[in-house]
Amino acid sequence: MSRLSLADRLVNAWYAKSVWLWLLAPLSWLFALVVWIRHRWLDERKALDAAQLAPVVVVGNITVGGAGKSPLVAYLVRAFEDQGLRAGVVSRGYGALSPIDQPIVLTDKSTAGEVGDEPLMLYQQLGCPVCVCPKRSDAVARLTELGCDIVISDDGLQHYAMQRDIEICVFDAQRLWGNGWLLPAGPLREPLSRLGQVDFIVFNGGDAPSPETLLAAKPEQFLRMDLAPQDLQALDGSVTLALEQLKGKSISAIAGIGHPVRFFNSLEALGAKVTPYPFGDHHSYHLDDFAPIIEPVTGAAAGRMIVMTEKDAVKCRNISLDNAWYLPVSAQLSDNLAHKILARLYAAGRLTPNGSPANMSKE
């Protein structure tokens, strides 16, 4: 049932620090030159006037593979809303099956195939405005028109043409930056020196490494994030199951995310006996993906629970699965990141005391 693509296997090699990756070193040097040129060129040609748009907080990473950005985005949306701000989310729309060529604002009728799995998950979680577009600056402009006071970009650290006020880089604390090489010999999309330009660095699932390891960063930028599992939710939304019910149970665990092992480990930590089924990130599910574990007539998992991530759930609700559940998580931060961000935006004049973006009249 496991279907890892060649790209996913390459990601695993980066974090396992496989020796053969040195063969790709010349391509990494070329990639480093492209990154430098692209950054310089686009940084000097911002497509939009930041003063006319809602302030933007980018939650991204400089590595390939899942780091835990979406739970942090959800945390920020809720925290900003608690302060009376109308928050919105922009995303490129990874995982959409059809090309997206203009801003699309999600509705209750949106599907993962149309807008991508993570944007749909965030929309269903939060109920806030979510807009997808490959040109994220256009999505920011659309949410500004809709009256958002502040916009969070889910990914987009390398989308240099998009204006931004705050940058947050997220790392998986277990894998960090793998072998430390740039693509394609390693997982880095940008060199570690890029961390000297971001505002905050969040380590998902562990403490920050020693400051000497990150020469370009400062310890006061570091925060720890832990993902706390919530009660299981039935795939059809009909019922909730307490986490204690997982203890001692044999389950089939499904994960089509950047680092599936983290999900499987979290289920084992809750006492479940896990049979893991990893898929590639943003995998588009079909019934035959589940053929090895379900009975062909009833759709039951041979007496086992099927447990998946919330990101997978948004793509599996239309598949006939019995005894299928997803595990929601919530981000817990070592410090009040939202408060730190708002303090900077107010100090910079990007938010006015009534919460509105400065120099901008709301419709």
Angle between helices 69-82 and 337-347 (to 10 degrees): 60
Q: Does the pLDDT at position 211 exceed 80? A: no
Check residue 47 and give its pLDDT.
Answer: 46
Q: Does the pLDDT at position 17 exceed 90? A: no
Phi-psi region of 308 (alpha: psi -120 to 50; beta: other; left: phi over 0): beta
Judgement on whether residues 215 and 68 belong to the same structural domain of the protein: yes
Instruction: Give a yes or no: residue 151 inside a domain.
Output: yes
Instruction: Give a yes or no: residue 352 inside a domain.
Output: no
Check residue 297 and give its pLDDT.
Answer: 44
Check residue 212 and give its pLDDT.
Answer: 66
Judgement on whether residues 142 and 255 belong to the same structural domain of the protein: no
Judgement on whether residues 196 and 57 belong to the same structural domain of the protein: yes
Q: What is the pLDDT of residues 52-83, one digit of tens each?
A: 799 999 999 999 878 999 999 999 999 999 99
Judgement on whether residues 160 and 299 belong to the same structural domain of the protein: no
Judgement on whether residues 125 and 186 belong to the same structural domain of the protein: yes
Domain extent at residue 280 = 231-327
CATH number at residue 99: 3.40.50
d(CA 279, CA 270): 22
Judgement on whether residues 77 and 199 belong to the same structural domain of the protein: yes
Which residues does residue 131 pair with via DSSP β-bridges, in sequence order? 90, 105
Check residue 246 and give its pLDDT.
Answer: 96
Judgement on whether residues 205 and 237 belong to the same structural domain of the protein: no
Angle, CA of 58, 62 and 66, to the nearest 5°? 85
Buried b (16+ CB within 10 A) or exposed e, 314-326: bbbeebebebbbb
Judgement on whether residues 26 and 54 belong to the same structural domain of the protein: yes
Instruction: Give a yes or no: residue 355 inside a domain.
Output: no
Contact 279, 2 (CB under 8 A): yes
Assign 213 a pLDDT band (cuts: 50, 70, 90): low
Q: What is the mean pLDDT of residues 178-206?
A: 93
Q: What is the pLDDT of residues 294-352, one digit of tens each?
A: 755 444 445 689 999 999 999 999 998 889 999 999 999 999 999 999 999 999 999 98
Judgement on whether residues 152 and 36 belong to the same structural domain of the protein: yes
d(CA 104, CA 120): 12
Count how many domains the chain has.
Answer: 2
Q: Does the pLDDT at position 41 exceed 80? A: no
d(CA 142, CA 228): 33
Judgement on whether residues 41 and 143 belong to the same structural domain of the protein: yes
Instruction: Give a yes or no: residue 361 inside a domain.
Output: no
Judgement on whether residues 283 and 321 belong to the same structural domain of the protein: yes
* Half-sphere exposure of residue 244: CA atoms within 13 angstroms, side-chain side: 0
Instruction: Give a yes or no: residue 1 inside a domain.
Output: no
Q: What is the pLDDT of residues 311-325, one digit of tens each?
A: 999 999 999 888 999
Q: Does the pLDDT at position 45 exceed 50? A: no
Judgement on whether residues 178 and 257 belong to the same structural domain of the protein: no
Q: What is the pLDDT of residues 115-157, one digit of tens each?
A: 999 999 999 999 999 999 999 999 999 999 999 999 999 999 9
